[in-house]
Amino acid sequence: MNTWMTHQISNQFDELQNYNLFATDQVLQEILIRYGSQDRTTLAEFGQHVGSSEYYQYADLANTHTPILHAFDARGRRLDTLEFHPAWHKWMGLNRKYAVHAYPFHHPTSASKWVDWAARFYLTGQIECGNLCPHAMTLGSIALIQRETALWEKIGTKLLSTEYDERDIPIAQKKSIWLGMGMTEKQGGSDVRANETVALPIGETGRGQAYLLTGHKWFFSAPMSDAHLVVAKTEQDGLACFYVPRWLEDGSKNNIHIQRLKDKVGNRSNSSSEVEFHDAWGIMIGEAGRGIPTIIEMANYTRLTCSVGSTAMLRQALVQCIAYTRQRKAFGKHLAQQPLMQAVLADLALETEAAMQLSFHLAHCYEADDDLSQAWKRIMTPAAKFWICKRNVELSGETMEVFGGNGYVDNGIMARIFKEAPVNTIWEGSGNVMCLDVLRAIGRDPESLEVLFKDLASTAMQDQTLKDELQSLLKLLQQSPEDLQFMARSLVSRLVILAQAVLLKQYAPDFVSTAFIQSRYNAFHGRVVGMLNPQDVNVERLLMRAFAA
């Protein structure tokens, strides 16, 4: 050997790219069949696009070359425009084409419209998450805008359009538009009732009337959106929700001044900002004095996107780990053949499938208005958002570790997922807010809890472990309101794990549900990933089910 030939590379493998995310996902295909999806051919096509090397590269570029704010021109005139790398527009255009922003409203009579939407969000969210922020907010706003007849007539077709239009021009001149959200102010955070932004009527007051808004927003999501839904207080009616466009109908810019972009830990491709309103023009939407319930209706959709999005990150991290450990060797064997690594991979596979089953079942519940679906939506949407997003933060660190030092280098998808994961725990309400919302839903509608527990019991009573846990949770709910709030994180975590166990028991093979139940009700589970009993887990079948490619 030439002594100068030191740079010989062996036993090194790139992160997986250029594969069909849909075709390699057995669990997703089972879920779609179960809920009657007729959209699987299109989803397979979409899975090929988002898994291509081309779109992996676009994701890298969009997160490396982050948005640039141009607040002023060379002579000091306000511009308030943002410059994005072309890779951002590639992702925005692809997802718009496949209606990630509006699929359920394109197919209102489809019995699987929300499941088919969730599949789109889940597939694309595995590769580039930042652009899903404007998609999620636009999705969440459509149902609200549809109830505002005059406004919907003006912008409805542009909201639903699948033709991407990146131009920053008045809405009347655009082929399609995006909607964002402005709730958070620096003095209140999640306490929206503390908002100080003021809306003064131009003429008449109330729904559909024009107001001028003055104040600030500490987090103004996706400021390049064509309009935002904003919470502000009025003298006559208290807090209300307003539709505030970037451009006015006379062709001038609305008085929304972008102060700066947030320098975020992750979600780098997407722009988040601080803004000030200087008599910004807006229209009240929803009922006067019901600004928070109106915007929370939007948040119910965007909280679902958080659960689905975090599930997507779990899935991508799992696939990358399985693919890598099947190639990388250590101590004479592939990593995937090492028993301790198998324990980690198996635990990751169980967690990922449990998140998938819950997220897609929730999406299915958004398709109906019966009492059971409503109970799942009201109680389990914030619960799932809390738990799945929290687990993604922890497990993204574990999956980086599988790659060793290479996983900690900030030039691949593993590092990006790790930095992206926390945003979903915070956006649309922190963990504590989600747990309090679960308690609030239970307190306001005890019958919903009864309906939910009856549904869980139909399966839980077949398994002694789940039966015991169900009865224990019922006892826990008898605590005083103060004690229940103190223990809310414990309650919500246990409720989610029980729901996941029930869904796995109903829909997954026995080797999956048994392993999940035995491991999740082990006293040591959750302290670190991989604390499994080998007698409870069929590693080979679990990992082949997770990723057979």
Which of the listed residues 126, 160, 194 is the one where a domain comes to its end?
Answer: 160
Q: Establish if 91 belongs to a structural domain.
A: yes
- In terms of Cβ atoms closer than 10 Å to its own Cβ (0-12, 13-18, 19+), residue 455 is middle
For residue 271, give the nearest of 134, 121, 385 by alpha carbon.
Answer: 134
Q: Kindly state whether residues 482 and 345 are assigned to the same domain.
A: yes
396 and 479 inside one domain: yes
- The CA distance from 131 to 471, in Å, is 43
SS3 430: coil
8-state DSSP, 377:
I
d(CA 108, CA 95): 19
User: What CATH number does the domain containing 195 carry?
Assistant: 2.40.110.20
pTM equals 0.96
Please state, in angstroms and rounded to a whole number, the distance separating the CA atoms of residues 304 and 139: 11
Task: Compute CA distances 8 → 2, 165, 327, 403, whole Å.
Answer: 11, 48, 18, 20
User: Rounded CA gap, 60 and 87, in Å?
Assistant: 9
* Spatial separation of the C-alpha atoms in residues 316 and 329, rounded to whole Å: 21
- Alpha carbon dihedral 399, 404, 406, 408, in 10-degree steps, equals 60
> In this predicted structure, what is the pLDDT of residue 524?
75
CATH assignment at residue 385: 1.20.140.10
Distance CA 202, CA 46 (A): 47
φ and ψ of 80, to 5 deg: 50, 50
Residue 43 within a domain:
yes
Identify the pLDDT of residue 183. 86
Structural element, H or E, at residue 198: strand 198-201
Cα atoms found within 13 Å of the Cα of residue 62, Cβ hemisphere only:
26
Do 34 and 140 belong to one domain?
yes
- What pLDDT is attached to residue 525? 76
Q: What CA–CA distance (Å, rounded) separates 107 from 325? A: 41
| CA distance linking residue 185 with residue 481, whole number of Å | 29
Print the domain residue range for 315: 294-546
434 and 308 in a single domain? The answer is yes
| pLDDT for the residue numbered 526 | 74
For 493, other C-beta atoms within 10 Å of its C-beta total: 17
User: What pLDDT is recorded for position 194?
Assistant: 78
DSSP annotation of 282 reads E
Distance CA 376, CA 449 (A): 9
Q: How many domains does the chain have?
A: 3
Residues 220 and 338 in one domain: no
Shared domain for 274 and 304, answered yes or no, is no
Same-domain status, 353 and 469: yes
Is residue 168 domain-resident? Answer: no
Bridge-based pairing of strands 256-261 and 272-285 is antiparallel
pLDDT at 1: 54
For 427, the token pair is 């956006």
In a domain, 218, yes or no: yes
Cα(493)–Cα(509) distance, rounded to whole angstroms?
A: 24
- Residue 445: count of CB within 10 angstroms of its CB: 16
Q: Which residues of 70-91 are buried (b: 16+ CB within 10 A; e: fewer)?
A: eeeeeeeeeebbbebbebbebb
Identify whether residues 304 and 221 lie together within a single domain: no
Averages of pLDDT over runs of 10 residues in the chain (549 residues) are: 71 92 98 97 98 98 98 95 98 98 97 98 98 97 97 98 97 97 82 86 96 96 96 92 97 97 96 97 94 90 97 98 96 95 98 98 96 97 98 97 93 94 95 96 95 98 97 95 96 98 98 97 84 94 94
Residue 391 lies in a domain: yes
What pLDDT does 3 receive? Answer: 61
Beta bridge partners of 243: 229, 283
- Residue that finishes a domain, picked among 246, 272, 290: 290
Q: Does a structural domain hold residue 436?
A: yes
Distance separating alpha carbons of residues 234 and 284, to the nearest angstrom: 10
pLDDT score for 523: 73
SS3 120: helix
Close Cβ partners of 140 (under 8 Å, ≥ 6 residues apart): 181, 298, 299, 300, 301, 302, 305
Is 412 strand, coil or helix? coil
* 534 lies in some domain: yes
**For residue 20, is it within any domain?**
no
Distances (CA, A) of 376 to 113, 356, 383, 506: 17, 15, 10, 16
Pairing of strands 272-285, 227-234: unpaired
210 with 323, same domain: the answer is no
Name the β-bridge partners of 334: 329
Tokens found for residue 431: 């963990």
Q: Within this chain, do residues 85 and 186 fall inside the same structural domain, yes or no?
A: no
284 and 301 co-located in one domain:
no
Give the three-class secondary structure for 464: helix
Using the 3D structure, point to which of 121, 137, 160 is the last residue of a domain: 160
Q: What per-residue confidence (pLDDT) applies to 527?
A: 82
Q: Does residue 375 sit in the same domain as residue 454? A: yes
